[in-house]
Each structure stands twice: as C-alpha cells, then as structure tokens.
C-alpha cells in the first residue's frame, strides 16, 4: 500500500484512516507481519503494533536483519551487532513483548520495569564494549595502511548488487571473491593489488554497498569499513546499467558519499552490466552525455574491463608527472634505480653527470627531494611532448 502524506503523523507515520485500512487488510489476509518501507520512530512502531495487533517491522530493521545474516568476519559481526543494539535500545519494551509472545504463556504484559532496566543497562554496557573493540580494529587497519607500499589506490563504491565484487574479481583474477545475486553480499572490506597493464599496478578495495535510506545506525557502525574507501585516490562508482532506476541509484550513492565527506574525491563512473542491455550503444551514448568521464564495462567478457583499465592507467599518468633529475656521475646506481621506479623518458650524460627526464609517482619525487636529489618540475608544454 502507498500513501502520499503532506506531513507524516508523529503517532503512526501514515494517517488514521490508512491505519484502519491496513488493519482490515491484515484481517482479510491473515497476515502476521506488516513491513514499512520507511524508518519508524520507537513510538510509531509501538502504536502501529498496538493498533494492527501484528508484528511491525520498519525498513531499518529489515536491512539490519539482512546484514546480520551476511556478516562473516569478526569485524562485520561486531559492526552489525552494534547497529542492532543501538536500534533495539529505544524499542526494548516492544521487543520484549515479542519475545514473551514467542515463548508463550507469559501473555502480552511484557516484563516488569526492573527487568527492562536491567536489560537496558546490559545493552548499554555491551554497546560500550563493542565500540571499544571496533576502535581497536580501526587502529589495526591504520597500522596496516601505514605499512603498505605507496601506489595508486582505488576504491570501489556503488549501490548494492551493482557488481563491485565482480569488478574486483575480474581485475584480480581471483575467483574466490564472493559474488552473489543478492543484496549486501559483501560486508567486509577486501583489498587486492592488481595489474592494469603497461606495468601499472593499483591497490583496489571492495567494500559494502549502499542502498536507499540506509539506516543511520549502520552507516555509523560501518565507519571503520568505509574508512577504507576513504583511502582511495580514485573512486570507481560502479553502476548497474541494466537496472531501470540506475540514475536514482547513482543519486543515492552520491548522497552517501557526501555524508562520508567524499563528494570531492576524483570519481570515475563505471557503467557495468552493459552485456545485459538490449542496445548497449544507445545506453553508452546517453550515459556519456550525462557523464563525459564515464566508462562502459561488463564483467561477463574477458575484455569487458579494458576501457576501465585504460582509464585508470591514464589517471595514474596524471598523478605521475615527468620531472628533470640531475645527478652527479658518482650517482650511477641512483640513475639506474630510476629505471625501476618510473619511466625514463630521456637520459643525457655530460662531463658533470646525468640529466634525465623521468615520469615518477609524486611520493617518489618527494622522497628524492627529501634525500637531496636535484629534481625540477618540467614545464607543462614539455610534459605533453614527452608524455
């Protein structure tokens, strides 16, 4: 059932008449559960259950339930439990009523006040403990990140089921990466180093997908996981091009990215599942008009990600300026090492030493400068000529 309301009722979300209508439908169909595609306040949930006399779930609770069945790793389990407890705490009276119904015999009265207070205290304590554990996980992640070699880092973001894990699987060639036709198949962050061709490597991170009206408890408890996406130099926004509402899904993802302070991060829209479209060319023309930097992709063909790899390689080039390096003759080993670190564009030797033009990662340029090497930016015109 759908109702357009100018302003939601504080007591029941939908209007009084509509509640009665739902009540009649519940009776006619002997339904045992009513689900709202919105988040209900604790009071709204309690009122609706009293009036409808059946269990009422809201969108947040359904999503939390799905998350809890998907959680595999220790971290994901902690995050889901935290979100569930935070959700439960203000709704405890109602939850207790369900429990006593399931157990039977106790009737509809629910537990006494003292029991409720004890439970609230226990839940608050558990919430505190979970937050502490998640802080530890976060610190551990930070340490791991600090120890990694610097290289182009790419984070996959997008609506759930868009094909993020499939893209990582195709790029890395790892077939064990879990891909499933269901919502929130991935809850854990997974990072792989992949080969983009032409000797360019990148670190690619897959993580939990987004969804419309994502419960805020979940966003909050998945911060540590999403922190990993924050590390990306580039975000790949994976879009399911075969979904009728792909544009709406893109807006949802953009909104969540803004909430995570990632709106300004360089982002490449990747229109995936092109194979599933009746006319990929028509779609591509339309999508490129709206998103000039957009890349077309399919993970169903081995060459389906070539355009994406090329886009990432050229992104890597932008991030790797060419510089002029001058070295004394005594620094032959250093000169040789530049062939390993970057692309040597030219090299001249004269009486004083070596004059080289090299394309290098910014962090390598910084490191050379820190070590006292004479590194000069080359003028843009020359960069284009040599690039």
Ligand X SMILES: Nc1nc2c(ncn2[C@@H]2O[C@H](COP(=O)(O)OP(=O)(O)OP(=O)(O)O)[C@@H](O)[C@H]2O)c(=O)[nH]1
Q: List the structure tokens of 223.
A: 């911060």
Which residues inside 150-169 make contact with Mg ion, applying CB under 5 A?
Answer: 164-165
Q: Which does 300 bind (CB under 5 to 8 A by kind): ligand X, Mg ion, none?
A: ligand X
User: What's CA 267's distance to the chain center, in Å?
Assistant: 13
Lookup result for tokens 């009665």 = 20
- Is 186 among the residues that bind Mg ion (CB under 5 A)? yes
Q: Find the shortest distance in angstroms from Cβ 292 to ligand X.
A: 22
Q: Find the shortest distance in angstroms from Cβ 300 to ligand X.
A: 5
Q: Find the shortest distance in angstroms from Cβ 165 to ligand X.
A: 3
Q: Find the shortest distance in angstroms from Cβ 185 to Mg ion.
A: 5
Span from 84-92, 107-115, 179-187, 290-298 in contact with Mg ion (CB under 5 A): 179-187
- Is 189 among the residues that bind Mg ion (CB under 5 A)? no
CB 188 within 8 A of CB 76: yes
Q: Find the shortest distance in angstroms from Cβ 304 to ligand X.
A: 6
Q: List the structure tokens of 267.
A: 């982002």
- Is 207 among the residues that bind Mg ion (CB under 5 A)? no
Q: Which does 180 bind (CB under 5 to 8 A by kind): ligand X, Mg ion, none?
A: ligand X
- Is 185 among the residues that bind Mg ion (CB under 5 A)? yes
Using CB under 5 A as the binding criterion, the count of chain residues that bind Mg ion stands at: 4
| DSSP3 helix / strand / coil % (the chain, rounded to 5) | 50, 20, 30
**Residue 14 or 274 having the CB closest to ligand X:** 274
CB 315 within 8 A of CB 152: yes
**Residue 223 or 382 having the CB closest to ligand X:** 223
Span from 22-30, 139-147, 177-185, 279-287 in contact with Mg ion (CB under 5 A): 177-185
**Residue 149 or 181 having the CB closest to ligand X:** 181
Query: Interface residues with ligand X (CB under 6 A)?
Result: 158, 160-166, 179-181, 183-186, 209, 272-273, 275-276, 298-300
Q: Starting from the edge strand earliest in sequence, which strands make up the sheet with 190-195, in order?
A: 190-195, 201-206, 152-158, 234-240, 267-272, 295-296
Of 328, 327, 333, 384, whose CA–CA distance to 356 is shortest? Answer: 327
The number of beta carbons lying within 10 Å of the beta carbon of residue 64 is: 21
Q: Find the shortest distance in angstroms from Cβ 170 to ligand X.
A: 8
**Residue 209 or 215 having the CB closest to ligand X:** 209
**Residue 110 or 158 having the CB closest to ligand X:** 158
Angle at 155 between CA 167 and CA 136, to 5 degrees: 120
Q: Exposed e or buried b for every residue in 273-306, given b needs 16+ CB within 10 A?
A: bbeebeebeebbeebeeebeebbbbbbeeeebbe
**Residue 172 or 186 having the CB closest to Mg ion:** 186
Using Cβ positions, the residue closest to ligand X within the complex turns out to be 209
H helices of the chain, where? 16-29, 42-52, 59-70, 74-88, 92-103, 113-146, 164-172, 216-221, 223-230, 246-259, 280-290, 306-318, 332-341, 362-370, 380-386
Q: Which does 343 bind (CB under 5 to 8 A by kind): ligand X, Mg ion, none?
A: none
Q: Find the shortest distance in angstroms from Cβ 21 to Mg ion.
A: 39
Q: Which does 276 bind (CB under 5 to 8 A by kind): Mg ion, ligand X, none?
A: ligand X
**Residue 186 or 267 having the CB closest to ligand X:** 186
Q: Find the shortest distance in angstroms from Cβ 137 to Mg ion.
A: 20
Of 28, 134, 21, 160, whose CA–CA distance to 76 is shortest? Answer: 134
Q: CA separation (Å) from 93 to 55, 114, 121, 122?
A: 13, 12, 14, 14
Which residues inside 263-282 make contact with Mg ion, applying CB under 5 A?
Answer: none
Euclidean distance between CA atoms 121 and 195, whole angstroms: 51
Euclidean distance between CA atoms 220 and 238, whole angstroms: 22
Q: Find the shortest distance in angstroms from Cβ 145 to ligand X.
A: 22
**Residue 45 or 158 having the CB closest to ligand X:** 158
Residues at the contact surface with Mg ion, assessed by CB under 5 A: 164-165, 185-186
């Amino acid at each position: 059932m759908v109702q357009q309301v100018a302003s939601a009722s504080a007591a029941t979300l939908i209007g009084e008449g509509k509640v009665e209508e739902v009540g009649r439908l519940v009776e006619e169909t002997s339904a045992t559960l009513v689900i709202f595609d919105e988040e209900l306040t604790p009071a709204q949930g309690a009122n609706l259950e009293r009036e409808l006399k059946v269990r009422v779930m809201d969108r947040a609770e359904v999503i939390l339930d799905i998350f809890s069945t998907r959680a595999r790793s220790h971290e994901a389990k902690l995050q889901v439990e935290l979100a569930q407890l935070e959700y439960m705490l203000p709704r405890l009276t109602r939850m207790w009523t369900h429990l006593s119904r399931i157990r039977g015999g106790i009737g509809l009265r629910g537990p006494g006040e003292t029991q409720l207070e004890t439970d609230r205290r226990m839940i608050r304590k558990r919430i505190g403990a979970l937050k502490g554990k998640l802080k530890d996980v976060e610190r551990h992640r930070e340490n791991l990140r600090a120890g990694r070699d610097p290289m182009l880092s790419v984070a996959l973001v997008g609506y759930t089921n868009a094909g993020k894990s499939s893209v990582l699987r195709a790029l890395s060639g790892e077939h064990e990466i879990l891909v499933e036709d269901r919502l929130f198949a991935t809850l854990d962050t997974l990072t792989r180093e992949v080969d983009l061709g032409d000797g360019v490597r990148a670190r690619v991170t897959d993580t939990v997908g987004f969804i419309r009206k994502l419960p805020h408890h979940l966003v909050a408890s998945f911060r540590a996981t999403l922190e990993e996406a924050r590390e990306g130099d580039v975000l790949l926004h994976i879009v399911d091009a075969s979904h009728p509402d792909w544009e709406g899904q893109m807006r949802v993802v953009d909104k969540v990215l803004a909430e995570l302070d990632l709106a300004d991060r360089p982002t490449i829209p990747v229109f995936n599942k092109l194979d599933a479209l009746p006319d990929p060319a028509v779609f591509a023309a339309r999508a490129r008009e709206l998103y000039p930097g957009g890349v077309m992709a399919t993970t169903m063909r081995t060459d389906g990600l070539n355009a994406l790899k090329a886009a990432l390689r050229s992104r890597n080039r932008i991030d790797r300026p060419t510089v002029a390096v001058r070295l004394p003759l005594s620094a032959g080993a250093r000169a040789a090492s530049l062939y390993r670190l970057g692309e040597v564009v030219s090299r001249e030797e004269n009486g004083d030493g070596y004059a080289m033009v090299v394309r290098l990662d910014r962090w390598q340029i910084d490191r050379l400068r820190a070590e006292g090497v004479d590194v000069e930016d080359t003028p843009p015109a020359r960069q284009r000529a040599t690039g």
